[in-house]
Amino acid sequence: MDLNLSPSELGFRDGLRQWLADNLSPHWQADFAKIEGKQAQFEYLRAWQRKVYDGGWAGIAWPKEFGGRGASIIEQVIFTEEMARAGAPNLPGVLGLQLVGPTTITHGTEAQKEQFLRKILSGEEIWCQGFSEPNAGSDLAALRTTATLDGDHFVVNGQKVWTSYGWAADWCELVVRTDPDAPKHKGLTVLLVDMKSPGVDVRPLRQMTGETEFNELFFTDVRVPVANVLGKVNDGWNVAIGTLMHERATLGAGIQIVIRRSFERIVELAKSIGKFTDPITRQKLAQCYADIEVMRLNQMRAYSRMANGGTPGPEGSIQKIFWSELNQRFQQIAQEIMGPYGQLTKGSEYSIDDGIWTYNYLRARGNTIEAGTSEIQRLILGHFVLGLPKSY
Amino acid sequence: MQFGLTDSQILTRNSAREFFSAEYPIAEVRRLCETETAHDIPLWRKTAEQGWCGMTIPEAYGGMGLDLVEVAAAMEEAGRTLVPGPLLAHLTATAAITACASEEHKQQLLPALATGDRIATLAVLEPNPSWDLAAVAVPACEGTKLFVMDAAVTDYIVTLTRDGVFLVDSRGDGVTLTPMPALDTSRKLSAVNYRNAPGLQLATDNSAVQRALDIGTTLLCAEMTGAMQRMLDITVSYVKTRKQFGKPVGAFQLVQALCADMLVATESARSATYFAAYALEQNLPEAQSAVSVAKSYIADAARLTGNNAIQAHGGMGFTWENDIHLYYRRAKAFETAFGDAVFHRERIAQLAL
């Protein structure tokens, strides 16, 4: 057991810190807040990704031959943590970088790699994922969006939902049913769909927070070239599930830092309004600190296992359950500390931190649902880790 | 960076697993729990011959001088089989002597403790119990210490007083032991009454013993992690075979959720414990808060694990015959030993927030 960074890991971290010091404007958040309109804000973030790409920091986990650095899992964690620690803008091409890109590297044809990978790294093309449907959430393999072969094209019809970045995306990694007669996991195929194709309709989906982070996608007779099948026809479940494992494995590292920064802010706030001397508040904050530490340590153990040759596996569900439920407890404690001020939204002169805590409270409600509900995560642990009979 | 056991730590863990599971089968543990002391001299000798009693004592004084991560790995295995008797008390007391005694006293005392020829325990709590060293009030060596682990089988009681740390002969003049029957029968508690008891002064104040308390707390956490793992294993194997409505009860989602939460709790306990051991070993600035994180987290996590284990067993879980209650009792005793969750959260608030 050695929790010190190795000389090369330290070198990696210091190089990144230096690059951030040279390239991340300390007042970017103020600049960003002045930009009007979602599209213009998105272009700002895209320009940031381009800068990251030019600096050689985009897709660091990808193999060198595809423009990455072949970074180790520990270096990926360092990268995610350092970006979060510096408060750097999100990379708008995150789905391409973390999910679609790695899946394309594993399953894609040479032509697909040639066509897509560079543009994913640079942010020139943004990707979304068409996975969930109104009747296929936890039971993803029950999805009904169909694709039927017509000459050298598939013709796609159906509906997808909860599509992050759908409104901004140039391309979609779409899971469709190509064999309606096969058992549900066997008849699926992954298509790479140009979002500008005729018949693609992107509609905003307003969430309980009031924002439209997600979209619904409607596909009506959308023609997709057969050359855009990712992996093999009817092997889509294996292609898609690999992507989801990546999602669960890598999501936590940044979240841990974000929650910690947020926690430090609430401690500071509690001190400033005289609540830190209240023993009940102290207990709750200390418990929250312990939970955040346990989350960090669980992640370090999981990353170390992966670094030793393990692939992201079903144990990722432990992290998912832990951080999502922790964040909900934390947001509740934050609300209790702020009392009636906690309910004030952005724009009120009396609100704390311009109402971000109200937003955080509502947004955390989604944590135990997105990327697999807590219920399905527990069943995954029961079946795939503890070896209990499959119950769903 | 590598958060996992090294090859030599794995070797230690494996030999601990082999030894404790072979020598402390549950039938033997049950037999010992029913005795007055939960202590078996031939078994203690065997344990000592393998070096386990001197794990925390430096090699210079005849111990194994293991690093604390290795000791934690060994104690996780001891906890898995619910090793009864004075092992934990002895390791904590020897850590206290190592931390606070003079070179001369260490030379004099530690070798016989390392070989297990002498056994020691640590007396901290008083009738108004607090694990804050500043709350120690008895003079040397006069008054009452309570909840002293396994005192009845020891040779020495390392006694904290307001005049410093004293080594007191457990069977000496002026020392009276009274059993304090308690719910964890694998570890017997005593009230120790001192009436002008002679003692060897090891240190003039208690502050150096804090490290030993932190080590003891961490080893207790390691034991509990092993106990939690065992409760999980027993439960999973039970729900795979117990059938109702024509199928294993483990096929029901509510039962799976009970087990999944035990898994999350157990893995988290393990992460917190090994970090605490590592932080103490490396003398990291956050070592004390890491210990308190582990202790406060595991206090709740162990209770949850015990509750779920019994619940998933149904009526069988509530029987004397089933082993779960032995672990459940240990988990409850764990909660207050070396400071409860409230105590350790307050320590986190002071040290880390």
CB contact under 8 A, A388 and B236: yes
Q: Choose which CATH entry (3.90.1150.10, 1.10.540.10, 2.60.40.10, 3.30.470.20) describes domain A7-122.
A: 1.10.540.10
Report whether A275 contacts A334 (CB < 8 A). Answer: no
Share of chain B above pLDDT 90, in %: 99
**Which residues of chain A are under the pLDDT cut of 50?**
none
Does one domain contain both B260 and B312?
Answer: yes
CB contact under 8 A, B252 and A9: no
Does one domain contain both B219 and B346?
Answer: yes
pLDDT at A33: 87
Report whether B197 contacts B156 (CB < 8 A). Answer: no
CB contact under 8 A, B346 and A377: no
What confidence tens digit (pLDDT) does each residue in B89-139 have?
999 999 999 999 999 999 999 999 999 999 999 999 999 999 999 999 999
d(CA A144, CA A65): 37
| Among chain B residues, CA nearest to A8 | B1
Residue range B313-317: average pLDDT? 96
- Per CB-CB distance under 8 Å, the chain B contacts of A279 are 346
- Per CB-CB distance under 8 Å, the chain B contacts of A5 are 1
pLDDT at A61: 86
Q: Is residue B110 part of a domain?
A: no
Task: Using alpha carbons, select from A250, A371, A256 the residue that is nearest to residue A306.
Answer: A250
pLDDT at A251: 64
Nearest to A1 among B69, B236, B250 (CB): B69
Report whether A197 contacts A110 (CB < 8 A). Answer: no
pLDDT at A248: 57
Task: Using alpha carbons, select from B190, B194, B196 the residue that is nearest to residue B178.
Answer: B190
pLDDT at A250: 61
Report whether A386 contacts A329 (CB < 8 A). Answer: no
What confidence tens digit (pLDDT) does each residue in B50-70 have?
999 999 999 999 999 999 999
Which CATH number is B146's domain given? 2.40.110.10
- Per CB-CB distance under 8 Å, the chain B contacts of A291 are 297
Are A7-122 and A127-234 in the same CATH fold?
no
Looking at the complex, report in whole angstroms how far the Cα of residue B326 sits from the nearest Cα belonging to chain A: 23
Does one domain contain both B188 and B214?
Answer: no
CB contact under 8 A, B4 and A289: no
Mean pLDDT across chain B, nearest whole number? 97
**Interface contacts (A, B; CB < 8 Å):** 156
pLDDT at A243: 65
Does one domain contain both B199 and B216?
Answer: no
Contact map slice: B 209-248 vs A, CB within 8 A: 232, 236, 239-240, 247-248
Residues of the domain holding B65? 7-105
What confidence tens digit (pLDDT) does each residue in B212-260 have?
999 999 999 999 999 999 999 999 999 999 999 999 999 999 999 999 9
Nearest to A389 among B250, B275, B346 (CB): B250
pLDDT at A98: 87
Task: Using alpha carbons, select from A186, A190, A173, A80 the residue that is nearest to residue A126.
Answer: A173
What confidence tens digit (pLDDT) does each residue in A350-383 have?
999 999 999 999 999 999 998 889 999 999 999 9
Report whether B204 contacts B94 (CB < 8 A). Answer: no
Q: Is residue B113 part of a domain?
A: no
Does one domain contain both B229 and B186?
Answer: no
pLDDT at A316: 84
- CB-side exposure of A48: number of CA atoms within 13 Å? 22
CATH number of A239-385: 1.20.140.10
Q: Is residue B296 part of a domain?
A: yes
Hey, which residues of A are catalytic here?
Answer: 247
pLDDT at A315: 79
Sign of CA dihedral B199, B201, B202, B203: positive
Please give the CATH architecture assigned to the domain spanning A127-234.
Beta Barrel (2.40)
| Among chain B residues, CA nearest to A10 | B1
CB contact under 8 A, A297 and B3: yes
Q: pLDDT: is B308 or A76 the higher one?
A: B308
| Among chain A residues, CA nearest to B9 | A1
Domain map (residue ranges) of chain A: 7-122, 127-234, 239-385
CB contact under 8 A, B267 and A298: yes
- Per CB-CB distance under 8 Å, the chain B contacts of A304 are 1-4
Which CATH number is B242's domain given? 1.20.140.10
Nearest to A1 among B6, B257, B342 (CB): B6
CB contact B69 to A (< 8 Å): yes
What confidence tens digit (pLDDT) does each residue in B148-164 have?
999 999 999 999 999 99
CB contact under 8 A, A286 and B353: yes
Candidates B259, B271, B347, B350, partner chain A, best to mutate (most A CBs within 10 A)? B271
- Note the ipTM here: 0.96
Q: Which three-class secondary structure state does DSSP give residue B89?
A: helix
